[in-house]
């Protein structure tokens, strides 16, 4: 970015010097001709005028980059650049923002015209795909008058580091909809509740939409207006997210690893569980246990979960499920819902871990959540046009069939599962959680 600006200014200066030198040569060739001298004087006067207009105001432009204290991983984050013109005439601006190197973009440039005394906000979106610290450079603005001979550079919002956290934007979106019971707007299934595993909460006045079967006739007679009983779901059920950090979770989809998809979904489902009056906890593991956060419904529980998830990394090692089994047996005494975020690519990979999954399912309600390879699905759906493509398609169908065999094998042993594309992981996980709540299985 700095090199581009230097070349731009260098080219401008080179052209200006070339023009002056050319006029001097023309003057020498033509001898005492008056016209080249006049042109030279006019050019010098124009340059001096442009310089005077741009530099006589010490603070001709004010700018600032407006960015959140932290960015949301996997989401479009809005970045704004505020600009205010203190010149008494219109100016043309070229705005360059030095964004973090992780985005690998060098073409972020905005061109605009500002009237005297006006202000503008330039907005753009950044989508990070990895957690960690991102370093922004400066906002550079090149200002020119209508003469367009000289450019003055302003530099604002020098180096700033911004952490990228698990997707708190998704968390807030689903939280808001859950509070207002509008989850169906995002594809969350509306599931009919079976049975009456509910606790009495209070008596309130009837409003349109209340179930007439909950009318409290005694309270109605006393108050002389229609009163109904209000119930709440049974509370304090434990929901644990078990996140596999092994090498199988580093496969990328749309720039993000499966581990980051799992981390985002774990953050959202933990928040939904707490809003539904359950307790949320977390265990991360690979060849050994990473972090254990006991299930709770404390005020700072979500902040603790977010911090733990932010710091998760993989060592690209083989996952050891025996370590997970021993840890769960030792630390979780109450029957809980275990959401295991992992990935199995073959039936043989499942068979190696199946004894531990069966044992976990005996103690708790285990849901194995693993990923559908969407790239393979695209390959299967596209028609093959030659022998090579037929071979690739046959291999892709074989791998896809293996995933269905894994689901069938888990079901055979009474273990529930979710086979999902990475982009639908969060929605499908919430659907499963609400389904289990409705069936009173947790």
Strands 71-72 and 160-165: parallel
Among 64-78, 93-107, 198-212, 250-264, which stretch is predicted with the lowest mean pLDDT?
A: 198-212
Q: Residue 234 burial (CB < 10 Å; 0-12/13-18/19+)?
A: middle
Q: How far apart are CA 96 and CA 49, in angstroms?
A: 26
Cα–Cα distance, 67 to 157 (Å, whole number): 10
Alpha carbon of residue 420 to chain centroid? 18
- pLDDT for position 7: 38
State what percent of residues in the chain have pLDDT above 90.
54
pLDDT in tens, 203-217: 888 877 677 788 888
pLDDT in tens, 48-63: 888 888 988 889 999 9
Q: 168-191+234-438 has which fold? A: Rossmann fold (3.40.50)
pLDDT tens track for 261-276? 999 999 999 999 998 8
Tokens of 395: 């291999």
For the chain, where do the domains classified as CATH 2.60.40.10 start and end? 57-165
pLDDT digits (tens, 9 = 90+) for 177-200: 665 555 555 555 555 544 444 555
Residues 109-120 have pLDDT tens digits of 999 999 999 999
Above 50 in pLDDT, residue 411?
yes
| CATH class of domain segment(s) 57-165 | mainly beta
441 compared with 295, residue with greater pLDDT:
295
Instruction: Dump pLDDT digits (tens) for 340-355.
Output: 999 998 899 999 999 9
Q: Where in the chain is the domain with CATH 3.40.50.410?
A: 168-191+234-438
Better-predicted residue by pLDDT, 387 or 36: 387
Is the pLDDT at 4 greater than 70? The verdict is no
**CA–CA gap between residue 324 and residue 337 (Å, rounded):** 15
Q: Dihedral of CA 377/379/380/381: which sign?
A: positive
The bridge status of strand 337-341 relative to strand 289-296 is unpaired
pLDDT winner (highest mean) among 69-73, 147-151, 176-180, 234-238 = 69-73
């Amino acid at each position: 970015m700095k090199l581009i600006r230097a070349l731009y200014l260098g080219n401008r200066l080179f052209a200006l010097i070339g023009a002056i030198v050319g006029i001097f040569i023309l003057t020498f060739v033509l001898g005492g001709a008056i016209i080249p001298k006049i042109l030279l004087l006019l050019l010098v006067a124009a340059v001096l005028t442009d310089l005077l207009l741009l530099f006589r105001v010490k603070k001709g432009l004010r700018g600032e980059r407006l960015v959140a204290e932290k960015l949301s991983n996997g989401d479009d984050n809005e970045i704004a650049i505020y600009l205010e013109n203190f010149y008494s005439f219109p100016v043309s601006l070229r705005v360059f923002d030095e964004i973090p190197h992780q985005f690998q973009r060098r073409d972020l440039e905005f061109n605009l015209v500002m009237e005297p005394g006006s202000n503008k906000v330039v907005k753009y979106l950044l989508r990070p795909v990895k957690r960690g610290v991102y370093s922004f450079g400066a906002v550079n603005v090149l200002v020119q008058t209508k003469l367009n001979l000289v450019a003055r550079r302003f530099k604002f919002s020098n180096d700033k580091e911004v952490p990228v956290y698990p997707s708190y934007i998704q968390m807030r979106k689903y939280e808001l909809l859950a509070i207002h019971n509008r989850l169906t707007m995002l594809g969350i299934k509306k599931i009919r509740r079976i049975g009456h595993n509910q606790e009495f909460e209070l008596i309130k006045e009837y409003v349109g939409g209340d179930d007439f079967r909950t009318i409290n006739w005694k309270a109605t007679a006393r108050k002389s207006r229609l009163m109904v009983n209000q119930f709440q779901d049974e509370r304090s059920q434990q929901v644990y997210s078990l996140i596999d950090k092994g090498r199988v979770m580093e496969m990328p989809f749309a720039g993000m690893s499966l581990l980051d998809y799992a981390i985002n979904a774990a953050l959202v489902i933990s928040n939904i569980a707490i809003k539904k009056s359950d307790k949320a906890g977390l265990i991360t593991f690979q060849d050994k246990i990473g972090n254990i956060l006991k299930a709770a419904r404390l005020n700072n529980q979500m902040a603790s979960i977010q911090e733990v998830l932010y710091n998760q990394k993989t060592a690209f090692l083989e996952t050891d499920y025996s370590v997970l089994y021993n840890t769960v047996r030792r630390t979780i005494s109450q029957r809980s819902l275990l959401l295991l975020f992992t990935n199995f690519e073959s039936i043989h990979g499942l068979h190696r871990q199946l004894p531990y999954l069966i044992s976990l399912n005996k103690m708790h309600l285990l849901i194995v959540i693993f990923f559908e390879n969407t790239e393979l699905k695209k390959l299967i759906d596209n028609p093959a046009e030659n022998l090579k493509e037929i071979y690739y398609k046959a291999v892709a169908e074989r791998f896809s069939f293996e995933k269905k065999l894994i689901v069938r094998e888990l079901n055979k042993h009474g273990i529930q599962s979710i086979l999902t594309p990475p982009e639908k992981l969060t929605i499908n996980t919430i659907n499963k959680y609400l389904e289990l709540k409705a069936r009173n299985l947790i």
